[in-house]
Amino acid sequence: MTSDESGDIAIRARGMTRRFGALVAVDHVDLTVYKARVHGFLGPNGSGKSTSIRMLCGLLTPTAGDIDVLGLRIPEQADALRRRVGYMTQKFSLFDDLSVRENLEFLAAIQDLPRAAARQRVDELVDEYNFGDRQAQLAGTLSGGQKQRLALAGAVIHRPELLFLDEPTSAVDPESRRDFWEKLFELVDAGTTILVSTHLMDEAERCHRLSILDHGRLVADGTPDALSAQLQGRTVLVHARQPRRAHQALLSVPGVLSVAQVGNALRVLSEPATAGVDRLREALRNAGVEAGVESVAPNLEDVFVAATQRRAACGNDGNARRSEDG
């Protein structure tokens, strides 16, 4: 049993499905999220991440499936859940014409915090999220990173046990994203469980565990290290003087799933036990391309490509097998 599997479960969904007419937005997804972890939803736009989050927090009724969140059956007990969770979307959803402090005071009132407790909590958040000199500033005049911090402060004003974040950093600069993630890990250290959706690989690498979605289906699930380890021996880096010619030659090799140019190098992902280093060298030599070929460690982008390509090759039949944490 792994360290994750020995912990308490915050979310368990089985067969979670949502249809909009003929469109199947989320298709029989099984999901387990452990407490006091950052669990990532990785996938492109339209993969079902936002729809899944809305079902999990009780904002959208599933078409089929069983969902348990913090010991409550959803959507039947969604009202009881709302006081225990926080929700932050990618779009800034606070009031532009209220000040920083007024926004937090309003959210405290929405959560029915007693007046004295609300004042103390707002003071704590103003200090913790570095708004001491901006309390009176209108929220609409804040920078993107500042708005993001304010939205996060508002989402945790009632100290939720579980925090849903739907692509929260899509519109901010790298420094603000890094600071934001530091805040997330501070929350986790205090016992908060976080489910965050993203399409950014560097953010996915920060998560304790990942679920990769593609066209509404779960195509991979596990820790970043475990998912990457499954591809050991399948990723190769090619250094060629003529990378575009090398690119064409490599794509013609049976078993090659993808060839991506990274600067002057080409990163190649292959099916298991097919296009190894020697075979790629031979293909390049036969094409008259001089190149150096070396095995490299797989990364999460390789994991994502492999998972989605496998789903396509299988004719979209069934969820991908989950990986073990190892």
**CATH code of the domain containing 177:** 3.40.50.300
In a shared domain, residues 125 and 147: yes
Q: Please say whether the beta carbons of 312 and 304 come within 8 A.
A: no
Confirm if 66 and 72 have CB atoms less than 8 A apart.
no
Residues 278 and 163 in one domain: no
**Residue 303 included in any domain:** no
Q: Which two tokens stand for residue 216?
A: 């509404």
86 with 162, same domain?
A: yes
Range(s) of the domain holding residue 219: 37-54+79-227
Same domain, 143 and 286: no
Q: Is residue 325, in this structure, part of any structural domain at all?
A: no
- Indicate the pTM of the whole model: 0.88
Per-residue pLDDT of the chain (326 residues; tens, 9 = 90+): 344 444 599 999 999 999 999 999 999 999 999 999 999 999 888 899 999 999 999 999 999 999 999 999 999 999 999 999 999 987 767 899 999 999 999 999 999 999 999 999 999 999 999 999 999 999 999 998 899 999 999 999 999 999 999 988 876 788 888 999 999 999 999 999 999 998 888 899 999 999 999 999 999 999 999 999 999 999 999 999 999 999 999 999 999 999 999 988 999 999 986 768 888 999 999 999 999 999 999 999 999 999 887 544 444 444 433 333 33
Number of domains composing the chain: 2
70 and 10 Cβ atoms separated by less than 8 Å: yes
CA distances from 195 to 69, 88, 110, 130, 207 (A): 12, 11, 23, 24, 9
Q: Does 138 share its domain with 281?
A: no
Compute the distance between CA of residue 224 and CA of residue 202 in angstroms, rounded to an integer: 11
Q: Compute the radius of gyration of the chain from its Cα atoms.
A: 23
One domain for residues 102 and 220: yes
Residues 48 and 194 in one domain: yes
Tokens found for residue 77:
């007990």
Domain assignment present for residue 14? The answer is: no
Cα–Cα distance for residue pair 259/289, rounded to 1 Å: 15
Give a yes or no: residue 131 inside a domain: yes
Using the CB atoms, write b or e for 111-150: b if 16+ within 10 Å. Answer: bebeeeebeebbeebbeebebeebeeeebeebeebbbbbb
Ramachandran quadrant class, 295 (left: phi over 0; alpha: psi -120 to 50; beta: rest): beta
Task: State the CATH number of the domain containing residue 241.
Answer: 3.30.70.100
